[in-house]
Structure 1
Amino acid sequence: MTASPTSPGGPTLPQRRRLVTDIPGPESLTRLERKRTHVADGVGTTLPVFVAAAGGGVLVDVDGNSLIDLGSGIAVTTVGNAAPAVVERVREQAAAFTHTCFMVTPYDGYVDVCEQLAELTPGHHAKKSALFNSGAEAVENAVKIARAATGRDAVGVFDHAYHGRTNLTMAMTAKSMPYKSGFGPFAAEVYRAPMSYPLRDGLSGEEAAARAVDVLDKQVGAANLACVVIEPIQGEGGFVVPAPGFLPALARWCAERDVLLVADEIQSGFCRTGDWFACDHEAVVPDLVTTAKGIAGGLPLAAVTGRAELMDAVHVGGLGGTYGGNPLACAAALGAIEEMRRHDLTTRARAVGEVMAGRLRRLAEEHPVVAAVRGRGAMMAVELCHPGTTDPDPVRAGAVSAYCHSHGVVTLTCGTWGNVLRFLPPLSITDELLHEAFDVVAEAFAATT
């Protein structure tokens, strides 16, 4: 089985689903016992198989099972788990040096990544960036920048949002379990507005935006808001795609009141939705953009990119971190962007999305538990509800996902109620593997009726 013509690099592992043991197999079970001894219980695992190799669209575990990957490490390995340009650039950089700390002695890789971000993120204005390690760090620093630039404190966020696990980003995140429960008190001056959620509110984008800004005006007042932070397509909250017009209306309201619009593109960015960024779909140009996940092909890197004058509002030394923009991660990012450009992965994401959307709509026709099919590009989901209602059905979602796992397909759930199945295949997956994976998904729905 060969890679699709647009797949980056082409897989080096056999691209097939192959089960030689139960999932998890005996070797993985042995390693799980070691994990229980040495790793904190709070670090959960969705699918308890230990991976020995990965590439193209498969993960190979220590028992020799080959699983089809529909998760990409939560939207991280967009270009694949070992894309050639990523591997080669990291290898060259590791041979040169692994660290100096950019705040001590700078290096080209950091600046090169910032230059690429200025070119790729929405808008043609002058931009600057700062690099960090994780999405939560990026969001937290975006808020710091917004507060410094505006002189205001308040932050607007949305229902169903997920922004991270640091104290401030936990406050910004909507879902309690498992992200917030027992970890308070949380940072103050965070205010939550209703998100556009077409399945549940039935509002047009403009109507939903008017409702949201009315709440923000009443709770805090635009004059006190430093920024409004929003995922253009929500991630952990359930791949909620706002109704058309919602984001542009929100952007206009922010611009008219000098409130900074921060787009959290951590899960939706870097070709995932069929555009470089999800904001591009409606030509929304945020003041600040946060990125991570798909930016560096699996190495830890994150960024805040924004209008140059806003980024420069922070005093010297106010941004940074020991490992932020590590040279190996920067090399990986440059390799990942090279793969995205070379193989036109925005087009590939749209093609993958067409396949997934077609298969999922067929499932919706056959199984009334599917209340909604939504997403964009290679970021698709189905929300499961008790038939004829919008009452969430997390039990069925869990059962479908468990069936997929036991039959060699990596799937993920999400959503405020845990009733959403999300699909994030690497864009290096073959069309044949993608169809085979959704054959298993279809079997899972039939087997759990």
Structure 2
Amino acid sequence: MKRMIFIMFLLVLGFCLPDGAEAASTLQSKIDAASKGTTIEIREGEYNETVNISKPITLIGKGKVLLRSCEEEPVIAISGEGVILKNIKVEHCGDRKEDMAVFVTGSNHILEGIDIETRGAGIKLDRAADVKIEDSKIVGEKQGNGIDLWKSFRNTITNIKISNVADGIYLEQSEENILFQNTIQNSRYGMHLMFSDDNLLNENVSKANSTGAMLMESNRTVVSNNKLSFNNNSVHAQGLLLYMVSDTKVTGNTIISNRVGIYIEEAERNQIDNNTIMDNFVGIQFEDANGNTAERNIFVGNVNNAQAIESANNQINGNYWDAASKVDVTGNGVSKIPFIADPYFLTMTTNVPEYQLFFQSPGLILLQKMLKSPADQLLIDSTPLMDMTSEMENEISASYRLWSMSIAMIIVSFSLFIYGRKRS
């Protein structure tokens, strides 16, 4: 009898005391025990804990791996050098917008296949260098930024799907970073650069945001081959905003259906060339911006192709304007009639916003012709192109074909619906 009571006591004690083997199986315990260069394979399952990685090891999720935490600290914190993180889903459910799912400092880390859901920020790079973030996804609740860089250099961010955050990718005092083939939507700014020089934004898609991309006091940036579209859900929305920017190259971009396609303010020595600017309310707008060049761009279907205020000293030459009067007397593909954009309406609505109700009204058009703006306020392309390049024609015709097919499919679907109702 005593023997039986003693055995039962041991069993109860075993249930009450922490299981040393189970405690050792936590991810953090495995990380702490691992030597440099070790690869840890995380078995499929949900792990409700935070982890801190400060040595060069590799963590790879096998199957569906979820790390989840509602604490104030990041779910995953990375420091040191050479950490590799792959195929892991991270969920941060904390309520503070300054919280983040993943925190990274140090250098030469790789984050690949990371799926993040967060109420705050997604990934924060703080004084991080030569980090690669690729093939991942971030979904937020419009409180924190998707990927936030602070004093971080030479990082590469590739093929990240970001939605429903404050700013998709935010850089501050961060230089020589590459943003390549990312897709950002339903956020405030798609890509937002502050005081960050020598960065590359290439082949990204930014759509249905307040602003597709904003550069503020960020110089020598290359913005190339991006698609900035449908950024029009605010009265201050634009595809691309250059504010107090210099020596930046904007080339090969497709900028469609924004409130303002490209807005250039207090900026100088920037080059805008070979962009397709289509179906925006205003194609390109200069304000107190001088010394910039705009060449070989295509302006099609914009309600107002161009406007300029206090921006007389820009070189606007050799662009295609669908609203231009065209006469080619020499056969060189250049119209003899300059294209002139008068800021009369913009000046009026700046002082009295209610005048926007009269946009394109016959009376306002007559008034503009009678009371022209001073010559030094006009935006003039003295050599407008007669035709678009073949590449631009193909791209624009493809866009129109897509719209036509969509409309046709809607009509057919509606017709079948009506026909079905009649038969029933």
TM-score norm. by structure 2 comes to: 0.22
Q: Which has the larger strand fraction?
A: 2
TM-score norm. by structure 1 comes to: 0.21
Q: Which has the larger helix fraction?
A: 1
Task: Report the structure number with the largest CA radius of gyration.
Answer: 2
